[in-house]
């Protein structure tokens, strides 16, 4: 059990003041703060920051940042990212102090997938993202615990003041986008109505439709290898003009504190966005070879209700979805469709998901196609069996639209 050396209850402290106190006291350990059912863990060594994480989908966060590094480090490909998540994510909730996302980074270094300098870049980027969210907490009134739990090994450490100053400047820049944009997890969509169509060409409409498929600013930044703030600034004129509209973040990211002028008022030094016409704004939107087509998804399940649910979740996001209820006929239909992603239910009569997955993997067309097992079972044996027959991943019933889109983002982009 981890020994605690500082505990506070019902504390009213600004987030920065709490870090300043710990830094000035040369604290060693882990600061644990709860807000809106989110657990923030900030690690310190002699008052310097060594890592920060939170309980909201840490492996979604690490996948996004590894994807960005993949542009410079090709070995960090989709297969390796999937291996990391499957290997470490299941242990995340079993360890309340030394988090598995950090262990995954250490594993990448130990296996020579990352050089130490590259791991330092990854740790700093992950820490920055978590700190930006932490700084938005309006006040800390819940129980605060600083435990004697140190990271091992320590990859790097940061002087907290320059790092937090950088985060604060970025948050102030985000506030210039208020009230339209208040979270980096909001999801931009092309607003294909008559007034928008008159303003832009069919070619530009097609470009927007390919790019904006329900992914958040954070996810789009990983696709384009751009800072999410810069991407939001490029899309902002189109959002204001109604060409693009925003949906709120999917759960659980809707629990994150909102970016607000109340927390970070615009100062004289905050860069104001210039007025930009629609054509100039469209020209700034980056092109990416990863989003040049409409992705085809084949769903095989003997339950019409499940198929309707999947269709409702994905059709609205501009995917081409093919529903297959008869598993015996599925192989022939999948051969005709040639999907980019296959979702397979396990418990089907005559031919279950394991058997169908094995047949697909033995076909030359589907040796590399992502196949995701859809299962109501969470046991290790079922997951291991899915891997043995060649399944790429699994998703557990009942699933949310957010979880399904996360699979789409992982394997189709």
- pLDDT at residue 104 above 50? yes
Q: What is the pLDDT of residue 141?
A: 58
Q: Which of 110-124, 273-287, 320-334 has the lowest mean pLDDT?
A: 273-287
- pLDDT at residue 274 above 90? no
- pLDDT at residue 228 above 70? yes
**In angstroms, rounded to a whole number, what is the distance separating the alpha carbons of residues 266 and 171?**
10
Q: What is the pLDDT of residue 42?
A: 92
Report pLDDT digits (tens) over 22-75: 888 888 888 888 888 898 999 999 989 999 999 999 999 999 999 999 999 999
Q: What is the pLDDT of residue 74?
A: 94
Q: What is the pLDDT of residue 64?
A: 95
Q: What is the pLDDT of residue 166?
A: 93
**In angstroms, rounded to a whole number, what is the distance separating the alpha carbons of residues 373 and 342?**
8
**In angstroms, rounded to a whole number, what is the distance separating the alpha carbons of residues 375 and 386?**
10
For the ranges 21-35, 47-61, 112-126, 395-409, the one whose mean pLDDT is highest: 112-126
Report pLDDT digits (tens) over 263-273: 666 555 555 55
Q: What is the pLDDT of residue 5?
A: 40
Fold annotation for 293-412 = Rossmann fold (3.40.50)
What token pair was written down for 244? Answer: 């693009």
Residue spans per domain, the chain: 4-171, 179-290, 293-412
Between the alpha carbon of residue 110 and those of residues 104, 105, 107, 127, 408, the distances in Å are 10, 9, 5, 21, 30
- pLDDT at residue 194 above 70? no
Average confidence (pLDDT) over 299-322:
85
**In angstroms, rounded to a whole number, what is the distance separating the alpha carbons of residues 256 and 216?**
14
**In angstroms, rounded to a whole number, what is the distance separating the alpha carbons of residues 28 and 48?**
8
- pLDDT at residue 1 above 60? no
Q: What is this structure's pTM?
A: 0.84
Q: Which of 6-15, 188-197, 234-243, 297-306 has the lowest mean pLDDT?
A: 6-15
Match 């704004």 to its residue by tokens. Answer: 281
**Helix 78-88 × helix 100-110 angle, to 10°:** 130
**Helix 160-175 × helix 228-240 angle, to 10°:** 10
Q: What is the pLDDT of residue 189?
A: 82
Q: What is the pLDDT of residue 4?
A: 41
Work out the end-to-end distance of the chain between its first and last CA atoms, rounded to an integer number of angstroms: 42
DSSP 8-class letter at 176 = T
Q: What is the pLDDT of residue 121?
A: 96
């Amino acid at each position: 059990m981890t020994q605690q050396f500082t505990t506070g209850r019902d504390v009213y402290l600004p987030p920065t003041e709490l870090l300043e106190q710990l830094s000035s006291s040369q604290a060693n350990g882990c600061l644990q703060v709860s807000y809106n059912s989110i657990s923030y863990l900030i690690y310190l060594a002699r008052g310097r920051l060594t890592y920060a994480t939170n309980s909201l989908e840490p492996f979604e966060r690490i996948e996004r940042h590894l994807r960005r590094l993949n542009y410079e480090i090709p070995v960090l490909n989709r297969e390796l990212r999937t291996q990391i998540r499957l290997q470490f994510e299941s242990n995340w909730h079993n360890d309340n102090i030394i988090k598995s996302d950090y262990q995954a980074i250490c594993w990448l270094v130990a296996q020579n997938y990352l050089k130490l300098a590259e791991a330092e870049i990854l740790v700093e980027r992950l820490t920055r993202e978590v700190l930006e969210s932490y700084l938005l907490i309006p006040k800390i009134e819940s129980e605060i615990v600083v435990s004697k739990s140190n990271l091992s090994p320590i990859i790097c450490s940061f002087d907290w003041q320059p790092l937090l100053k950088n985060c604060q400047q970025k948050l102030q820049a985000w506030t210039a986008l208020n009230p339209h944009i208040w979270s980096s997890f909001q999801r931009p969509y092309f607003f294909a109505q008559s007034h928008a169509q008159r303003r832009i060409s069919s070619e530009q409409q097609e470009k927007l439709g390919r790019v904006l498929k329900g992914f958040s600013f954070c996810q789009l930044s990983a696709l384009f290898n751009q800072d999410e703030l810069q991407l939001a600034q490029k899309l902002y004129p189109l959002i204001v003009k109604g060409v693009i509209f925003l949906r709120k973040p999917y759960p659980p990211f809707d629990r994150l504190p909102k970016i607000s002028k109340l927390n970070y008022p615009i100062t004289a030094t905050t860069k104001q966005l210039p007025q930009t016409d629609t054509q100039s704004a469209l020209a700034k939107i980056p092109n990416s070879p990863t989003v040049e087509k409409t992705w085809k998804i084949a769903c095989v399940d003997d339950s019409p209700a499940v198929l309707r649910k999947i269709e409702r979740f994905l059709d609205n996001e501009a995917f081409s979805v093919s529903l297959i209820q008869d598993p015996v006929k599925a192989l022939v239909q999948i051969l005709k469709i040639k999907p980019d992603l296959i979702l397979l239910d396990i418990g089907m009569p005559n031919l279950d998901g394991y058997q169908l997955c094995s047949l697909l993997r033995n076909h030359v067309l589907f040796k590399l196609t992502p196949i995701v097992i859809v299962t109501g079972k969470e046991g290790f044996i079922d997951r291991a069996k899915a891997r043995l027959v060649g399944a790429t991943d699994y998703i557990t019933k009942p699933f949310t639209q957010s979880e399904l889109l996360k699979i789409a983002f992982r394997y189709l982009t």
